[in-house]
Every structure is written in structure tokens, then in C-alpha cells.
Homo-oligomer: A and B are copies of this chain.
Amino acid sequence: FLGLQALAQSAPLPSWNDGPAKQAILDFVRETTDPASPKFVPAAERIATFDQDGTLWVEQPMYTQVIFCLAKVPAVVAKRPDLKDVEPFRTVLSGNRAAIAKLSTADLEKIVAATLSGMSVEAFRAEAEAWIATAKHPKFGRLYTDLTYLPMQEVLSHLRANGYKTFIVTGGGQDFVRAYAQRVYGIPPEQVVGTAGGTKFGYGKDGRPVLTKEPRLLLNDNFAGKPEGIHLMIGRRPNAAFGNSTGDRQMLEYTRAGTGARLAMLVLHDDATREFAYGPAQGLPDSKVGTFPQPLFDEAKAKGWTVISMKSDWKRIFAFEP
């Protein structure tokens, strides 16, 4: 056992190629955990935050939660027939894939609000657990939960092995991600910060207390909402933050504005063969899902953040690869 532990400690991040990205992580962990280092951080204060979609798992061609919400539309309309002829529900029910792909962010937000509310928190969790246990990705033909990035799972493990408390800070729905975060990432519900609606406490017909999910938005955990959500839910500035798009910019800026060693990393999807290629930074194809524009790339370079190239920094992307 001690031999294995020593081995694990001597060779962390095995799915990473040697290079500046891997080195930045190793250096950060060493500097902040060595009591002799001027950048030492006490164990109780070590906080690392991770965006989920596009940072910990695949987000193309559409965010997993959006696919979950779209799949729920028929059941929601069955309970609320008044929505049948109302957009964007009519388009979703039509099954017209091209039209569905063109829905605006505002349309998707209407669908999310309608499908993620109106049930007890337990009923929602059971639905989310059941769906994620069987739904498969259109390109890979695998469970979404198999599509987490092995190199990032290794970062989570390496940080935790060195006393860091790891949090997900996602623009996705907090309750949705909490349904599988422990099993998939080893991250408990209370360490998942996400976009959150309100709940309403009341009593069921049997007199038992019930928390019902409401469409009312409490926290839009994206862009400036990420540092605001971090303050609300965690209450301190992260030492390290990982993202992949414009929605993570403010979280990384906030993280780096702290004193001492502060790690800020962005995953660049530049591997069309093994995953997807999109930016539009660095001449990659544009995308409205997980947009990584050139100004964000330039800001990263100017401020000493590290951009991770999936193509050159990651030896393996998925655990299922040979």
C-alpha cells in the first residue's frame, strides 16, 4: 500500500504530456503545499473550482442538461397542454432537429425553467439520475458520464490528494449536476455551485414537508455570476480555477486577483479527431456552445493564465480509450 501511494505521488497526471500546462499544475500544487514555500497555503484554506461543461466533460454538440430538458418537454406538455401550441415548446415537440438546433438562448431558458420546476426536489433528483444512467451521446454512443476528461479527473484527484477541496462551479443547473457529481467526480452535492432556482417549502396532502422547485432564478452562475456564486456558496476566493469559455472569464480574473500562487487554466478544444474543435480563438471554428474567443485567449496569455491544448497536452482524453 505504501509502495502504491509512493508511486501515485511520484507520477501524478499520467494522461498529461510533459509541457507547460502539466508543469503549471505540478508547480502550483508543490508551491502551495510545501510548508517551506513562501506561497504555502494552510490545508484548511485550499480551494479549487472547476467549470463543468467543456472543462470536465464534453459539451458539444449541445449541453447535456439542455438535451435532458428537451427530452422532458413531452412529459411537461402532457401535464400542461396549454404549452403545446406555444413556442418554443411547439418546435421541440415537432422533432425537427434543424429547427431545435436553432433555438435561441432565451428559448432554451424558457424550456429549462419549465422542465426543471414544479416537482419536489426528490422527484427531480430521481428523474435526473434515471436519465443520466441511460442517455447516450450522439457522436460517441456512450453514456454522458463516460465522457469526462481523464486528464481533468486526474487534476481533481491530484488536488484532493494534496488537501484541496474541489468544487464544481457551473452555468448548468445546480440540482442537475448534484444528481451525479459524487459518483462521477467524487464531488459531494454541497460542493456543486450552479445556476439555481428557488424552492418553496410547504406541506403535502399527507402533512409531510415538501420542497418544491420553482422557476424563479436565484443565481445565474455564469460570467460575473460565477465569482458571485462562489462568494455566496463557498465564501472565499479560490486558489485555482479551471474553465473553457467566456463564461469562466470573471471566475479566473477573480481567482488570479488574490495574493500568493493562484492557478488559472482554460481548456482549448483543438482536437477534432479525438473530441471537437471550436473556438473561435486561434482560427478554430466558431461555436455558440462553449465559446472561446480570441480576446479571452489573448487575456490568458497577457495575464499568465495557462491554456490547455487538448490536442497536445492530453495523452488520453477519455478513460475508455485504449
B-binding residues in A (CB < 8 A)? 44, 47, 121, 165, 174-175, 178, 182, 188-192, 196, 198-202, 208-209, 211, 218-219, 224-225, 227-228, 231-236, 250, 253-254, 257
Q: Does A235 contact B201, Cβ atoms closer than 8 Å?
A: no
Q: Does B253 contact A174, Cβ atoms closer than 8 Å?
A: no
Q: Does A231 contact B121, Cβ atoms closer than 8 Å?
A: yes
A236-B199 CB under 8 A given contacts A209-B250, A209-B257, A253-B209: no
A178-B254 CB under 8 A given contacts A198-B228, A228-B201: no
Point out which of A174, A218, A232 has the most chain B C-beta atoms below 10 A from its C-beta.
A232
26 A-B pairs with CB atoms under 8 Å apart are A44-B182, A121-B231, A165-B190, A174-B232, A174-B235, A175-B235, A178-B235, A189-B234, A190-B233, A190-B234, A196-B232, A199-B228, A199-B232, A200-B224, A200-B228, A201-B228, A201-B250, A201-B254, A202-B224, A208-B257, A209-B257, A211-B228, A211-B231, A218-B218, A218-B219, A218-B232
Point out which of A208, A231, A257 has the most chain B C-beta atoms below 10 A from its C-beta.
A231
Q: Does A201 contact B227, Cβ atoms closer than 8 Å?
A: yes
Residue in B closest to A189 when the chains form the complex, CB atoms:
B235
Q: Which residues of B lie under 8 Å from residue A199 when comparing CB positions?
A: 227-228, 231-232
Q: How far is the CA of A270 from the CA of B178 in the complex (A)?
A: 42
Residue in B closest to A201 when the chains form the complex, CB atoms:
B224
**Number of copies of chain A assembled together:** 2
Residue in B closest to A254 when the chains form the complex, CB atoms:
B209
Q: Does B254 contact A227, Cβ atoms closer than 8 Å?
A: no
| Nearest CB of B to A205, in Å | 14
Q: Which of B178, B189, B254 contacts A211 (CB 8 A)?
A: B254
Residue in B closest to A204 when the chains form the complex, CB atoms:
B257
Q: Which residues of B lie under 8 Å from residue A218 when comparing CB positions?
A: 218-219, 232
Q: Does B236 contact A189, Cβ atoms closer than 8 Å?
A: yes
Q: How far is the CA of A191 from the CA of B165 in the complex (A)?
A: 12
| Nearest CB of B to A233, in Å | 6
* Sample of 6 more A-B contacts, CB < 8 Å, known A190-B190, A190-B233: A44-B188, A174-B232, A199-B232, A200-B228, A201-B254, A211-B228
Q: Which residues of B lie under 8 Å from residue A208 when comparing CB positions?
A: 257
Q: Which residues of B lie under 8 Å from residue A257 when comparing CB positions?
A: 208-209
Q: Which residues of B lie under 8 Å from residue A121 when comparing CB positions?
A: 231
Q: How far is the CA of A135 from the CA of B225 in the complex (A)?
A: 35
